[in-house]
Amino acid sequence: MKSLTILSLLLQLIYLFNLCQALLPYPNSQNAFETIDQSAAEDLLYHTTEEWLEAESLTSSCSSCISALQLVKSLSYTSEALLIRTLTNVCKRTKKVSPEVCRGMMEEQVPIVRKVIKTMSVSGREGHLLCAAVANSCPYPDIEHWNVTFPKEKPSQPKQVRSSGDVMTVLQLSDWHADPDYQENADAICNEPICCRPDSTDYANVTKPASKWGEYTCDPPVKLIESMLKYIPTVEKDISFGIMTGDMPPHEVWSTLPFLKTQRIHDSAYALLHTHFDAKDKINALLYPAVGNHEAAPTNNFPISTNNLPLDEDRKYLSLEWLYKSLTRNWHGWLSHKKSNFYVQTSTGSYATRPLPGLKLISLNTNFCYTLNWWLYQRPAEMDPDGVLTWLVEQLQESEDIGERVWVIGHIAPGDSTCFHDYSNYYYQIVERYAPHVIVGQFFGHTHKDEMQVFYRGAQQTSSEAISVAYVAPSITPYFQVNPSFRVYKVDRNTFEVLDSLTYMADLGEANALDIEPVWHLEYSAKEAYNSSTAPITNASPLTPAWWHQVTEDMENHNDTFNKYWQFRVRLASQAPICEDECRANTICNIRAGKSELRCDYDSDVLMQTGRGDTSGIHACGWNLQGVRSML
């Protein structure tokens, strides 16, 4: 049976290749495509896309994905307008999203894709990487080996820092996604990526009117965010500083241009944050932000210095120079050091600063590991895009030399499924070198879920080998099917280790049902929720990586512990999917996956289908195969 399947696939590929060559030969001259049959090309691409989306095995899914890429690459040698028109029509014919979303997505993303795909070996590693990383449609290619270079060896007996007994409070906000177009009574059920907007509403046939405070299928109104910001100082009156781990604009990924539109959203969001963080009668603390994938326009696309950017005046916005200048301006007052501002504006959106004596905070632009950043597929590829990892090593070595502790913040956690395996592997090497004596905290966002990732020394995943933990904070936006939340850490003022993690939330469903303002409250304390005989901890002890590993062991042995984690993950939202044996095993595996190659939500064998899949949820900002099928 397997031989027949493979033979069938080979015949299909030969047919597609011959048809593609007949319709779309690679150009030998400037006029090679003057007589192209657009209708035939569109039909071919549509049917190939349908086969890909409907594929029931990884083998057929991979071949269909590669075939689709080959067609797009061939079409990329036509005019940009023709490619946009063809892909827009294919998108419309799938009837997965509205024609407006199809048109907007293609108009914004295709100019980048067209430029990048010409450099790619679609049938080689690059094509398989894109199909694996974006859609989980091919086996993930092996990592390109690179040993990160360190200035010094790891000290065998690093300097020990004693607890002071003094405790400080740090606030984490993440994934704001405020929607300026949110409108009360607009339809909360629609056929577009986000709802509750006039342009996605047929007011004569509203299925579910949007409430004034927000809906689980929508990004939030500013009113919900203001409610949260007003609540924070009533429960935490002495915040040492805050971190904001990215994503200010809404999920309007098909309409981010002109870039001034997105820039105005940034300006408005940060103005509101300054109002609350800079005022003595409000939060009254410095805020240190990181760059999210939605900060860019077009969404997700952060070029690096080696990218061959368009030179024409009307495409200068693709360099994102406007974004880095905007962030420098909006972060003024929080980042006062000139070197920090310079690096934000002229380089990568990353920076290092010192919130307190003895603590360095490094904010990384993790979009240079993001699988939906099309610029990263352009060849020749860089193992260390724009030298950010090399810069990170320099910063960590400086801190080690002077006995300083470090927190790393960013948007996309290195163990996330949307972080390239290669980049994640290199970052993991850095953590192994500098944790736990220098790196004492890592803080990310992006997934909209309340999660964590544990890092280990070597290949043994045991409590004795656990060296670091990355906290993935829950989102403020309720999109998709989660309750709005924020996070508070209790931190030792001398070691800068996390003593407890407190998550606050508001039950949006309750607020809407009772037609009242959301009631913000403490959802749980990590120390109280997970303290057990398997993972014992005292009031004075920090939440060490070893302890978090013991918590995962408790999850394996006790359903009650895992069920807590699963419900906390979505902040007790009633729409939480059921997670049974395989889902539970995969979820625990992913907690222990500080690098993305260790995750258990990839198919590892293209023929034998031995890989494990976790399709319990669709990533809010990225796609697995299920996500592509349901969202395209």
The single-letter DSSP state of residue 366 is G
Q: How far apart are CA 596 and CA 270, in angstroms?
A: 32
Report yes or no: 224 and 486 within 8 Å, Cβ to Cβ. no
Q: Which of 334, 343, 437, 430 is nearest to 383 (CA)?
A: 430
- Three-state secondary structure along 21-73? HHHCCCCCCCCCCCCCCHHHHHHHHHHHHHHHHHCCCHHHHHHHHHHHHHHHH
Mark out the alpha helices in 179-253 (DSSP H runs): 222-235
219, 375, 440 from 479: Cα distances, Å: 6, 27, 31
96, 315, 318, 556 from 298: Cα distances, Å: 21, 11, 8, 42
| Three-class DSSP category at 551 | helix
Residue 355 φ/ψ, nearest 5 degrees: -65, -35
Q: How far apart are CA 214 and CA 184, in angstroms?
A: 8
Q: How far apart are CA 245 and CA 45, in angstroms?
A: 38
Q: How far apart are CA 578 and CA 611, in angstroms?
A: 21
Bridge-based pairing state of the strands 466-472 and 359-363: unpaired
482, 511, 537, 571, 572 from 577: Cα distances, Å: 11, 22, 30, 12, 11
Place of tokens 């949307």: 418
Buried residues in 522-539 as b, exposed as e (16+ CB within 10 A): ebbebbebbbbebbebee
Is 521 exposed, middle or buried (CB count within 10 Å of its CB: 0-12, 13-18, 19+)? exposed
Report yes or no: 93 and 46 within 8 Å, Cβ to Cβ. yes
List the Cα angle 513/184/504 in 5-degree steps: 55
Q: How many CB atoms lie within 10 A of CB 605?
A: 11
Q: Which of 485, 480, 525 is nearest to 506 (CA)?
A: 485
Bridge-based pairing state of the strands 485-492 and 466-472: unpaired
Q: Which residues are annotated as a binding site?
A: 175, 177, 247, 293, 411, 446, 448
Q: How far apart are CA 135 and CA 65, in angstroms?
A: 9
* Side-chain half-sphere exposure of 603, counting CA atoms within 13 A: 22
E-only strand ranges, 405-563: 405-412, 439-445, 451-456, 466-472, 485-492, 498-506, 520-525
Q: Which residues are annotated as a binding site for Zn(2+)?
A: 175, 177, 247, 293, 411, 446, 448
Q: Which of 414, 261, 289 is nearest to 350 (CA)?
A: 289
